[in-house]
C-alpha cells in the first residue's frame, strides 16, 4: 500500500512543478492578489510576487507534512511516543501482539491524510491561479467550495473509518 501512497505523493509534487511552470508562462505581469467574497479581484500584485507566495505556501505545507509522516513511522519503533497518541482503546491496540499492525495502519492512514491535504492545496491554488489569468481575473467560489467539500467529506469518512477500526466492537471481533 505504501508504494501507491509514495507514488501519489510524487505525482502531486510533479503536478505542483507543472502548475508553477505553466502559470509562470501564462500569467500576465499584473495579477489579482486577493478576491472579495463574490470572486472579484480587490488587490493586485506582480506575477512573480504572486508565484512566490504560492511557492512559499507549498513549501510550508510540505515542510509541515513531512515531520508528521516521519513521526508516524517512528511510532512503530519508539514506545515512548505512545503517550502522544489519542487512540480509542489505546492499551488494547498497543499491546505487544497488536502494536505492529496498529502502527502500520496508522502510518498509512496519516500518509493518506497528507496526500489529501496536498491535493486540496493544489486544487485551491489552481482556482486562485486560474482566476489570475488575464482573460479571467475572477475567482471561482463554486469551484473552491466543491474542492473544499470533497476534502472535508474525505476527512469525515477517514475519521469514521479510523474510529470504527479502533472501536470496542473491532476489539471484540479481533478476540
What is the full per-residue pLDDT of the chain (175 aa) written as tens digits? 578 888 998 999 999 999 999 999 999 998 888 878 877 788 888 999 999 999 999 999 988 888 877 777 776 666 666 777 778 888 888 888 888 888 888 888 888 999 999 999 999 999 888 888 766 667 788 888 999 999 999 999 999 998 888 886 655 666 5
pLDDT of residue 22: 95
pLDDT of residue 92: 86
pLDDT of residue 1: 56
8 A C-beta contact, residue 58 and residue 16:
yes
What is the distance between the alpha carbons of residues 48 and 146, in angstroms, rounded to a whole number?
A: 28
pLDDT of residue 93: 85
pLDDT of residue 68: 79
pLDDT of residue 6: 85
pLDDT of residue 76: 63
8 A C-beta contact, residue 140 and residue 39:
yes
pLDDT of residue 77: 67
Going from N- to C-terminal start, the domains of the chain cover 2-174
pLDDT of residue 172: 61
**Residues 81-105, buried b or exposed e (16+ Cβ, 10 A)?**
eeeeeebeeeebbbeeeeeeebbee
Cell match 463574490: residue?
A: 38
Q: Could you tell me if residue 39 is left (phi over 0), alpha (psi between -120 and 50 degrees) or otherwise beta?
A: left
Q: How many Cβ atoms sit within 10 Å of the Cβ of residue 15? A: 14
8 A C-beta contact, residue 46 and residue 33:
no
For residue 9, give every residue at least 6 positions away whose Cβ sits within 8 Å of its Cβ, in sequence order, or none: 111, 114, 115, 118
pLDDT of residue 15: 95
Amino acid at each position: 500500500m505504501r508504494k501507491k501512497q509514495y507514488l501519489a505523493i510524487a505525482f502531486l509534487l510533479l503536478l505542483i512543478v507543472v502548475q508553477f511552470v505553466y502559470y509562470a508562462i501564462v500569467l500576465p505581469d499584473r495579477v489579482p492578489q486577493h478576491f472579495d467574497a463574490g470572486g472579484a479581484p480587490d488587490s493586485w500584485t506582480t506575477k512573480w510576487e504572486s508565484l512566490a507566495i504560492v511557492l512559499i505556501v507549498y513549501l510550508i505545507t510540505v515542510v509541515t507534512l513531512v515531520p508528521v509522516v516521519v513521526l508516524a513511522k517512528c511510532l512503530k519503533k519508539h514506545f515512548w511516543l505512545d503517550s502522544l497518541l489519542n487512540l480509542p482503546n489505546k492499551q488494547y491496540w498497543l499491546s505487544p501482539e497488536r502494536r505492529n499492525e496498529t502502527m502500520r495502519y496508522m502510518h498509512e492512514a496519516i500518509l493518506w491524510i497528507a496526500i489529501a491535504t496536498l491535493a486540496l492545496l493544489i486544487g485551491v491554488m489552481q482556482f486562485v491561479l486560474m482566476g489570475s489569468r488575464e482573460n479571467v481575473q475572477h475567482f471561482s467560489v463554486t469551484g473552491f467550495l466543491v474542492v473544499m467539500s470533497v476534502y472535508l467529506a474525505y476527512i469525515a469518512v477517514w475519521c469514521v473509518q479510523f474510529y470504527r477500526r479502533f472501536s470496542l466492537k473491532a476489539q471484540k471481533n479481533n478476540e
